[in-house]
Amino acid sequence: MSTNICVRLFYQSGTVWIFSVLVLIFFFPSVTTAADSPAEESGSSQAEEQASQKDRAPVYQLDPMVVTATKTPVPLSHLTSAVEVITERDFQRRRDRTLVDALGLSQGLATFSSGGPGTNNTVRIRGGSSEQTLVLIDGAIVNSSTLGSFNFGTLTTDNIESVTVLRGAQSMLWGSDAIGGVVDIRTKRGTGAPVARIFSEYGSFNSIREGGSLAGQVGPVDFSTTLSRWDMAKFSSVNYRRGASERDAFRNWQASSLLGVKGPWDGRLELAFRWINNDIDLDNPSTFGGPFDVFKAKTAGRQFIYSGSYHQPMTEWWDQKITLSHARETLITQAGTNQRSITTGLEDEPGAFNNSDIRTKSNRIEWQSNFQIGKPLVLTVGYQFREQLGENKGTFSEKTLSSHAGFAQLQLNLFDRFFATGGFRQDSYNSFGDATTYRVTGGYFIKETGTKLRTSYATGFRAPSINELFFPNFGNPNLKAEKSQSFDIGIDQQFWDKRVTVSAGYFWNRFRQLIVTAFDPVGCTPFTPFGFCAQNIGSAKSQGWEANARLVLAEGFPFMKLLDFQGQYTYTITRDLETAARLPRWPVHQGSLVLTYQPITPLSFTATFRYVGSRFNTTGNQQSLPDFYVMNFSASYDLTPSMQGYVRVENILNRHYEEVLFFGTPVRSVFGGIRVTFDLPVSPASDSKDNS
């Protein structure tokens, strides 16, 4: 109890964000514009040199360092897990506005929008549910304490440096909710001379986006901070083609920052903050007399995410890291004044039960220690405290889920050819008891041919959410954790000096003790008089194939500065082992293509193609949805070294489709914008101080 109280007091004080602001003010008492920049005064020769260096820069960093898979930095080519890294460069090329835009093109993932930007949009991995995907932002767990999932529909790509998608059960390192995999989101780290950027964009549906950022490094301090807004109107949440006449508005503000400070003896302190303010008008897709076009129904969401970490090498063979994080969300829903069924035309008032005021919090403390044992072995041990709090005002008071966990992992690297990991974890929850998970992986890298073989086997679990445990007339406080087994095997191949990379693999998952809504008048009697409640009676499996290819087809030729292609395909078979039906919203076939063409240095074109196969909207193979494909196109031109104009066309073929039954999707839409960069040089006094 004392530990919990201390954690809450620390997070509620807002110490992380206040400290970030104070440090920025201290180190940047004055800011100059580009007109005062020495780079501007040096003439065009320096700009030409920068452009030349840009041309000579590698197109891709094909072997980035990945931390998520092992909790230690490991080159991507040495990993034995199925991993995909989406970078800021990918966002910029495709002009992705939201993280969903980017994740929808990834292999092994399924993501569907419930009515446009801001509405509920979750991510599923390899046949799992959205509650079985763990989502982190700068080390903070952001899965909802009440629902168990995370809504990606409100998160834009502003100030995001990378997203690491880890497929397969990852509970051994990450605990609950990681049955299907992990999505790890990292805020941009400032590097180089300080620069400021502003952008403005206007387009279809009266969409207006604008914002600014500041990033760079001065001496031992690096920083990045961003503020942006996005307003949209004239987009109906329920598909307007079905008769919805009211257009629903979307308003979004976001701010984020990352502050890094070098400590003594190669230590590093990082403080991160993210704020999301989201207001959106809603409709009701209910099939009981609907779907309904609802008037003045709104949801107001507020999210605050704080995190801090400190990494300190102790000796040449021992280092430690401690992470503290806090995420809280308020979600207030107003049912609206009246609603009209788009099937019958009848009007009535929405039910008062659609009003809600939900407050959730999530706290995490993790200590990690890494030991280098000789040259080939790394031992990682750690402890994690996790706490989730949630309440639905007027429905149930604040409930708490908490857990303590210990984990250990051993990594083996022999001659940079043979790699293996093995580890186990023990979690102890206040709600259902203990959970033990383990994971083993192996891989072999043939340097001469650029071939890597990899495989893994793991177990996972998901703790019941607060709604599943305590929601009135539904929750079951006797629920146990969901469990899973996960296996995959794959091959990664590089050709032609890493200009071509291809991968293919097979995966298999088995889910047990799944929490489902069941009609059991006898078993549900203690919790509800209606006979329906949450029970651990579900079981399912998924298996399939994944393939990915990335090719630099041409680079550095006249009128062919870059021609780049990326494609992926996922084949997924899912089965509910109780009914033999397919799992809801999981297509058998899905794939994507991305083609980038840069004829000259300042001009670039990118086209994307996304295909999603037929699927069922609900359980029991009900509400069939046809397959669909969407093509998008974007182009950008550097008007000057510091100014860029761009245009993006979505659904260029004007396809009519629904990702989720009854919900609207964009018609052909056009957006255009401009981005401007300002140099912010530090004063000579600061430079001399740093050099000393």
Three-state DSSP class for residue 623: strand
- What's the CA gap between 278 and 116, in Å, rounded? 13
Query: Residue 161, exposed/middle/buried by CB under 10 A (0-12, 13-18, 19+)?
Result: middle
Question: Would you state the pLDDT for residue 29?
Answer: 35
The mean pLDDT of the chain is 89
Question: What CATH fold (topology level) applies to the domain 2-691?
Answer: Maltoporin; Chain A (2.40.170)
Question: Would you state the pLDDT for residue 452?
Answer: 97
Q: How far is CA 371 from CA 320, 375, 409, 454, in A?
A: 9, 11, 11, 24
Q: How far is CA 566 from CA 441, 593, 631, in A?
A: 27, 6, 15
pLDDT for 522 beyond 90: no
Q: In 10 A of CB 330, how many CB atoms?
A: 13
Question: Would you state the pLDDT for residue 62?
Answer: 56
For 387, residues 6+ apart whose C-beta sits below 8 A from its C-beta are: 4, 7, 361, 362, 363, 364, 400, 401, 402, 403
Question: Would you state the pLDDT for residue 680?
Answer: 80
- What's the CA gap between 668 and 650, in Å, rounded? 6
Q: What is the pLDDT of residues 450-470, one digit of tens each?
A: 999 999 999 999 999 999 999
Question: Would you state the pLDDT for residue 276?
Answer: 97
User: What are the DSSP E strand ranges found in 242-355?
Assistant: 248-262, 268-281, 292-295, 298-315, 318-334, 338-341, 347-348
- What's the CA gap between 253 and 259, in Å, rounded? 21
- What's the CA gap between 95 and 91, in Å, rounded? 6
Q: How far is CA 141 from CA 20, 148, 272, 363, in A?
A: 21, 11, 13, 8
Contact 647, 99 (CB under 8 A): no
Q: What is the pLDDT of residues 297-314, one digit of tens each?
A: 999 999 999 999 999 999
Mean pLDDT in residue range 135-163? 95
Question: Would you state the pLDDT for residue 600?
Answer: 95
Q: What is the pLDDT of residues 26-75, one digit of tens each?
A: 333 333 333 333 333 333 334 334 444 444 444 444 578 999 999 999 99
For 288, residues 6+ apart whose C-beta sits below 8 A from its C-beta are: none
Q: What is the pLDDT of residues 602-617, one digit of tens each?
A: 999 999 999 999 999 9
Question: Would you state the pLDDT for residue 595?
Answer: 97
For 532, residues 6+ apart whose C-beta sits below 8 A from its C-beta are: 474, 517, 518, 519, 524
Burial readout 529-540 (b: 16 or more C-beta within 10 A, e: otherwise):
eeeebbbbebbb
Burial readout 628-641 (b: 16 or more C-beta within 10 A, e: otherwise):
bebbbbbbbebeeb
- What's the CA gap between 116 and 205, in Å, rounded? 11
User: What are the DSSP E strand ranges found in 579-686?
Assistant: 589-600, 603-612, 615-618, 622-625, 628-640, 643-650, 669-679
Three-state DSSP class for residue 662: coil
Three-state DSSP class for residue 3: helix
Question: Would you state the pLDDT for residue 523?
Answer: 87
pLDDT for 689 beyond 80: no
Return the sign of the alpha-carbon dihedral for residues 465, 469, 475, 478: positive
Question: Would you state the pLDDT for residue 497?
Answer: 85
Contact 286, 335 (CB under 8 A): no
pLDDT for 225 beyond 50: yes
For residue 4, name the pLDDT band (cuts at 50, 70, 90). very low
Q: What is the pLDDT of residues 74-106, one digit of tens each?
A: 999 999 999 999 999 999 999 999 999 999 999
For 406, residues 6+ apart whose C-beta sits below 8 A from its C-beta are: 381, 382, 383, 384, 425, 426
Q: What predicted TM-score, i.e. pTM, was given to this entire model?
A: 0.89
Tokens, residue 642: 């510091």
pLDDT for 531 beyond 50: yes
The one-letter code for the residue type at 232 is M
What percentage of the chain carries pLDDT values higher than 70?
89
Q: Which of 151, 153, 144, 152 is nearest to 177 (CA)?
A: 144
- What's the CA gap between 200 and 670, in Å, rounded? 14
Question: Would you state the pLDDT for residue 417?
Answer: 96
Q: What is the pLDDT of residues 407-438, one digit of tens each?
A: 999 999 999 999 999 999 999 999 989 999 99
Mean pLDDT in residue range 202-207? 95
What percentage of the chain carries pLDDT values higher than 90?
77
Q: What is the pLDDT of residues 533-576, one digit of tens each?
A: 999 999 999 999 999 999 999 998 999 999 999 999 999 999 99
What count of Cα atoms within 13 Å lies in the side-chain half-sphere of residue 64? 16
For residue 118, name the pLDDT band (cuts at 50, 70, 90). confident
Q: Which of 82, 168, 83, 113 is nearest to 610 (CA)?
A: 113
